[in-house]
Structure 1
Amino acid sequence: MRRALDALYDGCAWLAAVFMIGVLVMVLLSVLGRQFNFHVPGTDAYAGYSMAAAGFLALAHTLKRNEHIRVTLVLGKLTGGARRGMELWSLSAAVLLSGLFAWFSLRLVMQSHEFNDISTGNDATPLWIPQLGMALGTLVLLIAFVDEWVLELRGQRQHIGGPETRHE
């Protein structure tokens, strides 16, 4: 199970990297178009779609590598059961919030598809297509938070404290 979850997080990170390359390609097309007098319609929109997909798809991988910004002002002062309780409370809130975010993101994709919602730009893209990146990213983030919650509950979660949590 651990290998499958890690593969999921890594796969989303690789997909996020592909979308970052997509941003680069769209920006280069736009710059080259201005330099050489040609226009590729929708480059701005597709750069935005790619940037959003890259951001959302990278969330779970970033969480699992302990790279999310955490405010540890209170947590750093706690030890033992109090710290574990606060970690579980924080992770429970994160599971709830990421679950709501995933639910409403998936619902947005379904509604955009159902209503045939189209971009108002000159690209006229069905909006459910770029919204898939956000929905997938939030769903995998939910899975990652549940994973962290279970690991904390079992006492298997690794706490990596940065310099702000060390008292030297």
Structure 2
Amino acid sequence: MTAIRKTLDFLYLASGVAAALCLIAILGLIVAQMVARWTGEIFPGAPDYAGYAMAAASFLAFANALNRGAHIRVSILLNAVTAKTRRALEIWCFAIAAAVAWYFTYYAYWFVYWSWKFNEVSQGQDATALWMPQSVMVIGGALMAIALTDNLFAVIFKGDHRIVRETVEDSFEG
């Protein structure tokens, strides 16, 4: 396995782990807010931080979910056509998806840049500089764009994508 392949697989896995940690952070924030209410204290900004963590979890999970077959793909059509037509359809789909993901990432970067440049802060009690939680959107979008491009190149040069579906039966096999 090449260094690039190992690096990409590590990035996809690390983004999935980071997304899972964001979900754990949401749980921690909710529990902390419940405890604060029970004790009569105030935890300012907890809903805002939970929202940032939810957005981070969503965007960071994109690339990992793609390579694990968790994204919705219309495979009924792909299974009904010949192998040559299937390959052409997959190239077309991955090319469109990669172009959209790169387009999103490009404009998301500028969105974050201008938030930083104008020193925008959230309107909630936390008054967080918005470029910080928005940066995770750019990172997740870029990882998704890289994953889609990676799969596009795999279909073009190797004839098949790198998406591996994990099923419940796989968990019980030896």
State the TM-score, normalized to the length of structure 2. 0.88
Unaligned runs of 5+ in 1: 163-168
For 1:53-72, list aligned pairs within 5 A. Answer: 53-72=56-75
Q: Distance in 1 between matches of 2:140 and 2:111?
A: 14
Task: Give the aligned residue type for 1:110.
Answer: Y
Q: Distance in 2 between matches of 1:144 and 1:89?
A: 15
Tell me which residue corresponds to 2:76: 73
Tell me which residue corresponds to 1:134: 137
Structure 1 pair 14–68 and aligned structure 2 pair: CA distance change class (3 A): same
Taking only the aligned residue pairs, the percentage that are identical comes to: 35
Q: Could you say which structure has the higher helix fraction?
A: 2
- Cα drift, residue 14 of structure 1: 1.4
Unaligned runs of 5+ in 2: 167-174
CA deviations 1:3-53 (Å, max 9, x no partner) are 010011111111112211111111111111111111110000000000100
For 1:137-152, list aligned pairs within 5 A. Answer: 137-152=140-155
Residue number among 111, 121, 124 corresponding to 1:121 in the alignment: 124
Q: Distance in 2 between matches of 1:160 and 1:4?
A: 18
Task: Give the aligned residue type for 2:23.
Answer: M
- Cα drift, residue 156 of structure 1: 4.3
The structure 1 segments of at least 4 consecutive aligned residues displaced by more than 3 Å after TM superposition are: 158-162
Q: Distance in 1 between matches of 2:151 and 2:56?
A: 23
Structure 1 pair 146–121 and aligned structure 2 pair: CA distance change class (3 A): same
Moved more, 146-155 or 10-19: 10-19
SS of 1:6's equivalent?
A: helix
Residue number among 157, 161, 173 corresponding to 1:157 in the alignment: 161
Tell me which residue corresponds to 2:103: 100
SS of 2:75's equivalent?
A: coil
Tell me how many residue pairs correspond in the alignment.
163
Task: Give the aligned residue type for 1:148.
Answer: N
Moved more, 142-151 or 70-79: 70-79
CA RMSD of aligned residues (A): 1.7
Moved more, 136-145 or 76-85: 76-85
Tell me which residue corresponds to 2:42: 39
Residue number among 47, 52, 57 corresponding to 1:49 in the alignment: 52
CA deviations 1:72-122 (Å, max 9, x no partner) are 232221121111100000001101111111112111111100111110011
